[in-house]
A and B are shown apart, each in its own frame.
Chain A
Amino acid sequence: MSDELNINKKRKNQIKTKSSAASGRGETDIDYVRPAELPEQDLYHGHSFITKWIFCQDAKVIGVQYTLTAVFTGVVGLILSWMMRMQLGYPDLFPFLTAETYYQMVTMHGMIMVVYLLTALFLGGFGNYLIPLMVGARDMVFPYVNMISFWMFFVAVVVLMASFFVPGGPTGSGWTLYPPQAILEGTPGSGYGILLMLISLSLFVIGFTMGGLNYVITILQARTRGMSLMRMPLTIWGIFTATVLALLAFPALLVSSIMMTLDKVLETSFFMPTIIKAGEALSYDGGSPILFQHLFWFFGHPEVYIVALPAFGIVSDLISVHSRKNIFGYRMMVWAIVGIGALSFFVWAHHMYVSGMSPWFGFFFATTTLIIAVPTALKVYNWILTLWRGNIRINTVMLFCLGFIVTFVNGGITGIFLGNVAVDVPLSDTYFVIAHFHMVMGIAPLMVIFGAIYHWFPLVTGRFLDEKLGKLHFWITFLGAYSIYFPMHYLGFIGVPRRYFEMYDSPYMTSAVGMNEFISLAAFIVGAAQFIFFYNLVKSLRLGKPAGKNPWKANSLEWLTPDVPPTHGNWGEKLPVVHRWAYDYGVPGAKEDYIPQTTAPSEVKDAEVEKT
């Protein structure tokens, strides 16, 4: 494998002589690709079961490990949401659901879903599996660090789950963990629970940083020959930008976690002002609760895009492949991803319009927030314009993409409500907010995750998932989730505040009893439908229809490995060479309706390809 450099050098010389000879006749070598600059390094190959499957350095295995662990936490989060809906739909029916447990469930559900499921799954799961394959590398650049990254994540999950079993239970401070409440006695789990949460988050950030550096450097440094940045699939652009955001945003979470741990353990006063409890002033003095909110949302808002950008990227690729059409406005899509990523660092305080921060901030943050709507809207237009005049396969993957468009546009538009500072005043802290963010960063990214799993399952396992079960899974999930969150906006209009264990009998709240029951029923059904999906996964793993090579007739590199599923090192003897972007579908003059990235121009002479 390390002979490649020599081969390349030889080739380079050949090309030089060839092109200088050719230039005399006014021709150039149309297949020329710049040679590699560095020799390849050999990978560490595991041989024992432990080095191959447990402490494994293969990014693909690490990706699967991340995915399985993240999905496990997701199932826990799902069960917690069921219990919350039991209380909200049918209060008093379940005596074991006290206010304490309710708030603990709210907190754990939120944190698990945002950080331990979505972030870990998109970056750790899809990132690890797809980055090396899609950019034509043999593995991540630091495989050993990559392995440690997963195991840090694993320990973080163990610590988080352990908090269910400590005295006092897990923290019930809401996923935002706002002090002073988070570490004071009036909140459930303010002893061990919050401490374990903070430790788990810190471990997560450390683990993620190891993985994140890997993703970024692999994408920047280990792309194969010909894979210029502007030829990368949008999946990679999405994951790349999201990782950069995460590397810049997570430190804010880490420091706030550490500071709060100190406030809790050593009674420092980073976030703790003078507090009167039971008539006595506590020892705290002079800290600022709003400082924590700034730190938290400086992490928290980019976090939304850490989840959303990979989803944007992946869904672009899925839509393009399955409507057999190039993604519309690729360059615009790339700049939109990068632009959204950059802007996402200037909008954090739109979560804090009514937090008591200086009211003058409202003008600035409302403006930046609504500016972000422009590139985001352009992405939506480009997705539907990709469908336009395409040749759309209506399969499970495409269904999930369509479901994504509907839920994302819906949630995006309610985001404009909330970002527009004066509109936020009546709506903030109500169910409108819950409906908004579940639609836009819960359901929409989940749609992409499911679509992506149906799309790449044949690559990972060599078998298709069952289409019938897949469609059933889609329709129940999409229609069910939509009927949970669409009506929920209207609860917010009424004025029902979020994080209410019980509504009591305020006249405007009792009018919503029927709706709450309906939402709960829908939530039970949607949750149950996910087990159809798990059944499908297990069944198809053994009995699914064999997929063979490149079953979707896609262009991007991950489908072009010599072995399916790809083996360690991905590419066999020779690395692939890239001649075009990943979106040459339906090119006039070409024999097939797709031209894989590795196809040299001389092989498709008649194709009228636009230069990319």
Chain B
Amino acid sequence: MFTGLIFLAVIIGSIVFHVWTPWWWTDIASNWSAMDDTIILSFWIGGGVFILVCLFMVYCIFRYQYKEGRRSEYKPEDKKLEKGLTWLTTIGVVALLAPGLVVWNNYIRVPDNAIQVEVMAWQWGWKYRLPGKDGKLGASNNRIISDDNPYGLNIDDPNGKDDVFVESNELHLLKDRPVKILLRSIDVLHNFYVPQFRSKMDAVPGTITYYWFEPNKNGEYEVLCAEYCGVAHYAMRGKVVVEDEGSYNKWLSEQETFSSFTAKNIDNKLNKKKLVKINNLSSNKNSILKEQDVR
């Protein structure tokens, strides 16, 4: 009696919690509402099975509690029942799997008009690279990363010359325009994850991975690292700003390109030899200005 009632209470409690939970997912800000829908579908089918199985169990506890002298039914097998249950389960599984595969198929096929954005992860922070006017990112290689070449770009690749460097943890994206996130890491595994965009993928050193989404709501979003990357993993956060074309282009124009970066670097080196003092002052001033702009 007592036992059956508590198990019943557990089932009802689970349903009540699910219906009235204040903890639910963040408002979606990308095109991946199909993922949410698949989760909801899984909830209906899976939750239904959970409730039915548990209720049947509770029924058995009430109905077939031990009585001295009663015999249980002796029926080792029931082919028909077992077959029926097998088919029913199979149908349920197919109903869950099919939409899942469709969504996945969309997830791995990037639309042609997607803007490429390189996310570069390191212990522990983010920086980004955008293609210039040509829409193409230059080839890169981690081994040639240096102070003069922070993204390890191939200097002979013409596509790289106009690449835009965003050496800050803040990335701006254009609303309603798909982005293809290309992930690089210079040290360990990381994962570029914004809960509101639903999508994620690991950044793996030694290879370039990708995923895509289309941000569809203006706003500021927090970037989290979702793959354990060492002791400061929890603090490895960044920021994504989704905005309209005007402010986006303004932000974009304030970023440095590879060629201007290199030119400045060469300048800096020449200046260093001659005018150490002045150069120090001016570069400090530059960096302060830049920070203010970002805010």
A450 at interface (Cβ–Cβ under 8 A)? Answer: no
User: Hey, which chain A residues are within 8 Å of B222, CB to CB?
Assistant: 506
Inter-subunit contact A416/B231 (CB<8 Å): no
Inter-subunit contact A354/B202 (CB<8 Å): yes
Contact partner of A281 (CB less than 8 A), chosen from B23, B60, B142, is B142
Minimum Cβ distance to chain A for residue B213 (Å): 10
A405 at interface (Cβ–Cβ under 8 A)? Answer: yes
Inter-subunit contact A356/B204 (CB<8 Å): yes
Q: Which of A17-48 contact B (CB under 8 A)?
A: none
A220 at interface (Cβ–Cβ under 8 A)? Answer: no
Interface-located stretch among A1-9, A115-123, A243-251, A424-432: A424-432
Inter-subunit contact B96/A370 (CB<8 Å): yes
Complex alpha-carbon distance, A499 and B226, angstroms: 9
Complex alpha-carbon distance, A184 and B209, angstroms: 22
Complex alpha-carbon distance, A500 and B234, angstroms: 5
Complex alpha-carbon distance, A413 and B54, angstroms: 13
Instruction: Given A367-B97, A490-B23, decide whether A423 and B187 contact each other with a Cβ distance below 8 A.
Output: no
B89 at interface (Cβ–Cβ under 8 A)? Answer: yes
B111 at interface (Cβ–Cβ under 8 A)? Answer: no
A165 at interface (Cβ–Cβ under 8 A)? Answer: no
Contact partner of A409 (CB less than 8 A), chosen from B53, B100, B142, B201, is B53
B199 at interface (Cβ–Cβ under 8 A)? Answer: yes
| Binary per-residue interface labels of chain A (467-509) against chain B in the complex, 1 for a CB within 8 Å, 0 otherwise | 0000000010001001000110011011101111111101010
| Binary per-residue interface labels of chain A (104-137) against chain B in the complex, 1 for a CB within 8 Å, 0 otherwise | 0000000000000000000000000000000000
B99, B199, B206, most chain A CB atoms within 10 A: B206
| Binary per-residue interface labels of chain A (421-448) against chain B in the complex, 1 for a CB within 8 Å, 0 otherwise | 1110111111000000000000000000
Minimum Cβ distance to chain A for residue B248 (Å): 24
A72 at interface (Cβ–Cβ under 8 A)? Answer: no
Instruction: Given A100-B231, A276-B187, A417-B42, decide whether A186 and B77 contact each other with a Cβ distance below 8 A.
Output: no
Instruction: Given A186-B187, A402-B61, A423-B39, decide whether A356 and B26 contact each other with a Cβ distance below 8 A.
Output: no
User: Hey, which chain B residues are within 8 Å of A14, CB to CB?
Assistant: none
Complex alpha-carbon distance, A479 and B13, angstroms: 11
Instruction: Given A275-B205, A425-B199, A487-B23, decide whether A363 and B227 contact each other with a Cβ distance below 8 A.
Output: no
User: Hey, which chain A residues are within 8 Å of B49, CB to CB?
Assistant: 377, 409, 413
B14 at interface (Cβ–Cβ under 8 A)? Answer: yes
B273 at interface (Cβ–Cβ under 8 A)? Answer: no
**Shortest Cβ distance from B147 into A: residue:** A279
**Shortest Cβ distance from B24 into A: residue:** A493
User: Hey, which chain B residues are within 8 Å of A378, CB to CB?
Assistant: 82, 85-86, 89
**Shortest Cβ distance from A495 into B: residue:** B195
Q: Which of A352-404 contact B (CB under 8 A)?
A: 354-356, 359-360, 362-363, 366-367, 370-371, 373-374, 377-378, 380-382, 384-385, 387-394, 399, 402
Complex alpha-carbon distance, A394 and B228, angstroms: 44
User: Hey, which chain A residues are within 8 Å of B56, CB to CB?
Assistant: 384, 388
Contact partner of B96 (CB less than 8 A), chosen from A362, A391, A420, is A420
User: Hey, which chain B residues are within 8 Å of A487, CB to CB?
Assistant: 17, 23
Minimum Cβ distance to chain B for residue A9 (Å): 34
Complex alpha-carbon distance, A363 and B195, angstroms: 24
User: Hey, which chain B residues are within 8 Å of A579, CB to CB?
Assistant: none
User: Hey, which chain A residues are within 8 Å of B54, CB to CB?
Assistant: 405-406, 409
User: Hey, which chain A residues are within 8 Å of B237, CB to CB?
Assistant: 504
Minimum Cβ distance to chain A for residue B168 (Å): 18
User: Hey, which chain B residues are within 8 Å of A392, CB to CB?
Assistant: 60-61, 64-66
B133 at interface (Cβ–Cβ under 8 A)? Answer: no
B10 at interface (Cβ–Cβ under 8 A)? Answer: yes
Inter-subunit contact B230/A187 (CB<8 Å): yes
Minimum Cβ distance to chain A for residue B187 (Å): 5
Minimum Cβ distance to chain B for residue A191 (Å): 14
Minimum Cβ distance to chain A for residue B194 (Å): 9
Instruction: Given A409-B49, A425-B199, decide whether A273 and B207 contact each other with a Cβ distance below 8 A.
Output: yes
Inter-subunit contact B231/A99 (CB<8 Å): yes
A193 at interface (Cβ–Cβ under 8 A)? Answer: no
User: Hey, which chain A residues are within 8 Å of B230, CB to CB?
Assistant: 181, 184, 186-187
User: Hey, which chain B residues are within 8 Å of A429, CB to CB?
Assistant: 191, 193, 200, 226-227
Minimum Cβ distance to chain B for residue A366 (Å): 6
User: Hey, which chain B residues are within 8 Å of A277, CB to CB?
Assistant: 187
Inter-subunit contact A384/B53 (CB<8 Å): yes
**Shortest Cβ distance from B48 into A: residue:** A413
B251 at interface (Cβ–Cβ under 8 A)? Answer: no
B108 at interface (Cβ–Cβ under 8 A)? Answer: yes
Minimum Cβ distance to chain B for residue A470 (Å): 13
Inter-subunit contact A586/B143 (CB<8 Å): no
Interface-located stretch among A298-306, A320-328, A567-575: A320-328
Inter-subunit contact B25/A495 (CB<8 Å): yes
Inter-subunit contact A612/B226 (CB<8 Å): no
Minimum Cβ distance to chain B for residue A340 (Å): 14
Instruction: Given A178-B189, A363-B104, A413-B50, decide whether A482 and B231 contact each other with a Cβ distance below 8 A.
Output: no
B35 at interface (Cβ–Cβ under 8 A)? Answer: yes
Question: What is the count of residue pairs linking A and B with beta-carbon distances less than 8 angstroms?
Answer: 333
Inter-subunit contact B23/A515 (CB<8 Å): yes
Inter-subunit contact B101/A184 (CB<8 Å): no
| Binary per-residue interface labels of chain A (260-291) against chain B in the complex, 1 for a CB within 8 Å, 0 otherwise | 00000000000001111101010001111110
Inter-subunit contact B23/A493 (CB<8 Å): yes
A215 at interface (Cβ–Cβ under 8 A)? Answer: no
A610 at interface (Cβ–Cβ under 8 A)? Answer: yes
Inter-subunit contact A323/B64 (CB<8 Å): yes
User: Hey, which chain A residues are within 8 Å of B71, CB to CB?
Assistant: 324, 391, 586, 588, 593
Inter-subunit contact B204/A186 (CB<8 Å): no
Inter-subunit contact B78/A329 (CB<8 Å): yes
Inter-subunit contact B35/A388 (CB<8 Å): no
Q: Which of B129-159 contact A (CB under 8 A)?
A: 141-143, 145-147
Inter-subunit contact B143/A354 (CB<8 Å): no
Instruction: Given A362-B104, A384-B56, A506-B222, decide whether A184 and B188 contact each other with a Cβ distance below 8 A.
Output: yes
Complex alpha-carbon distance, A545 and B38, angstroms: 54
**Shortest Cβ distance from A611 into B: residue:** B76
A233 at interface (Cβ–Cβ under 8 A)? Answer: no
B6 at interface (Cβ–Cβ under 8 A)? Answer: yes
| Binary per-residue interface labels of chain B (74-111) against chain A in the complex, 1 for a CB within 8 Å, 0 otherwise | 11111001100110011001001101111111011000
B186 at interface (Cβ–Cβ under 8 A)? Answer: yes
**Shortest Cβ distance from A421 into B: residue:** B104
Contact partner of A356 (CB less than 8 A), chosen from B36, B66, B70, B207, is B207
A511 at interface (Cβ–Cβ under 8 A)? Answer: yes
User: Hey, which chain B residues are within 8 Å of A417, CB to CB?
Assistant: 39, 42, 46
Complex alpha-carbon distance, A272 and B107, angstroms: 29
Binding site for A on B (CB under 8 A): 3, 6-7, 10-11, 14, 17, 21-26, 32, 34-36, 38-39, 42, 46-47, 49-50, 53-54, 56-57, 60-61, 64-67, 70-78, 81-82, 85-86, 89-90, 93, 96-97, 99-105, 107-108, 122-124, 141-143, 145-147, 183, 186-189, 191, 193, 195-196, 198-207, 209, 222, 224-235, 237
Q: 12 A-B contacts, Cβ less than 8 Å apart?
A: A172-B231, A180-B188, A180-B189, A329-B77, A330-B77, A389-B64, A402-B7, A420-B42, A422-B100, A475-B6, A499-B228, A502-B235
Given A409-B54, A502-B235: 14 more A-B contacts, CB < 8 Å? A184-B187, A276-B187, A279-B147, A325-B72, A389-B75, A402-B3, A422-B102, A423-B100, A425-B200, A426-B39, A429-B227, A587-B74, A593-B72, A610-B74
The 4 closest A-B pairs by CB, nearest first: A273-B206, A495-B195, A186-B230, A422-B103
Binding site for B on A (CB under 8 A): 99-100, 103, 172-174, 178, 180-181, 184, 186-188, 273-277, 279, 281, 285-290, 323-326, 328-332, 354-356, 359-360, 362-363, 366-367, 370-371, 373-374, 377-378, 380-382, 384-385, 387-394, 399, 402, 405-406, 409-410, 413-414, 416-417, 420-423, 425-430, 475, 479, 482, 486-487, 490-491, 493-495, 497-504, 506, 508, 511-512, 515, 583, 585-588, 593, 608, 610, 612
